[in-house]
Homo-oligomer: A and B are copies of this chain.
């Protein structure tokens, strides 16, 4: 078989728009590419280095002679058309939450659990092979795991406490537009006009807009970070909590991560584990106060990791003990802190989906 024919479902959305780019940047072996979206976007023309594409309305017939379908059009479309595409023989990589917690469907971060993809699904020649569905995790989960998994492998993780700083892009292209428009209005002395988000967004931040469980008090985003991580690791011994917050940033998420490891480490141990980790770039210059930021992560494929340090609250003797360390006798602790940033539209969505496809087709 030659290169797979590809359907991009939701091609006009914030994530969909990145799909062509990331296929191109990663030199993915593309056959014919079809850009699909809702009927109201049909007819739009997308000019791209990969070609000129006229957007077509997504229908159950869209997946004939397509080998790879990249879905990013919301949970409803994925639920209704994902199985149709798979039945037509497609490898479906679904960016929605529709199938993530389905025990029959692998949920993949390629740096963490590529082995969860059944060997029978893998191969460039899919002639005669049945279709399948793979799920792309939540963006905050992906970005967290790329940074934490190397420490999980090297030292074991008992507990993770995460606070997020999430960009507008996670809520789609219109949310990004809302942030820009509202901010201009506020600078011009006009009132902010909330549309997508209930809270004003210009120069403001707020608890993640997903629904809260009235019993536990965790919102859906926070639940995803816990449950998806456990599924991806294939075990639920890591005790996780998250506080998910939307900040007035356009397209890269940050996360403050506090870990309890299974054994004592030095900062050098952490650097060594992270330096060789796939998908991680260390940005950690204490002398010049240079650390990950959303702007540094935006447009890049790596998760930036910095503020790599020991946690005084988990170190006997606290801050004094950390300060008393020397090069000859470095401080050791099971408590570790990181500040990370990753592009929500790329590693948090389109890029991770394409990386999953690479595991199948390469």
A residues in contact (CB < 8 Å) with B: 159-161, 163, 165, 179-180, 183-184, 187, 198-200, 203-207, 209, 211-219, 223, 226-227, 236, 239-241, 243, 245, 247-250, 254, 256, 258, 267, 286-287, 289, 291, 293-295, 306-314, 318-319, 322-323, 325, 331, 335, 337, 339
CA distance A43 to B347 in the complex (A): 55
Contact A293 B199 (CB under 8 A): yes
CA distance A331 to B362 in the complex (A): 48
What are 11 A-B contacts defined by CB distance under 8 Å?
A: A161-B258, A163-B163, A184-B187, A199-B295, A203-B294, A216-B309, A216-B325, A217-B309, A226-B312, A245-B256, A247-B247
- Say whether, besides A163-B163, A249-B248, A295-B204, A198 and B289 are in contact (CB < 8 Å): yes
Contact of A313 among B161, B187, B223 (CB under 8 A): B161
Contact B247 A205 (CB under 8 A): yes
| Residues in B whose Cβ lies below 8 Å from that of A318 | 226, 236, 239
Contact B183 A307 (CB under 8 A): no
Which residue of chain B lies nearest to A241 when distances are taken between CB atoms in the complex?
A: B313
Contact A307 B217 (CB under 8 A): yes
Contact A322 B204 (CB under 8 A): no
Contact B216 A291 (CB under 8 A): no
Contact A319 B254 (CB under 8 A): no
CA distance A259 to B185 in the complex (A): 39
CA distance A25 to B294 in the complex (A): 39
| Residues in B whose Cβ lies below 8 Å from that of A239 | 312-314, 318
The interface residues of chain A, by DSSP majority, are classed as mixed
Contact of A206 among B207, B212, B243, B293 (CB under 8 A): B293
Further contacts, 20 of them, CB under 8 A, given A184-B187, A204-B294, A205-B254 = A161-B161, A180-B187, A200-B293, A200-B295, A205-B249, A206-B291, A212-B289, A214-B287, A216-B309, A216-B310, A216-B312, A217-B267, A217-B286, A217-B309, A223-B319, A227-B319, A239-B313, A239-B314, A239-B318, A243-B337
| Residues in B whose Cβ lies below 8 Å from that of A310 | 216-217
| Residues in B whose Cβ lies below 8 Å from that of A216 | 309-310, 312, 319, 322-323, 325, 331
Task: State how many angstroms separate the Cβ of A287 from the closest Cβ of chain B.
Answer: 6
CA distance A286 to B291 in the complex (A): 34
CA distance A295 to B197 in the complex (A): 14
CA distance A254 to B165 in the complex (A): 12
Most chain B C-beta atoms within 10 Å of own C-beta, residue among A165, A223, A241, A335: A241
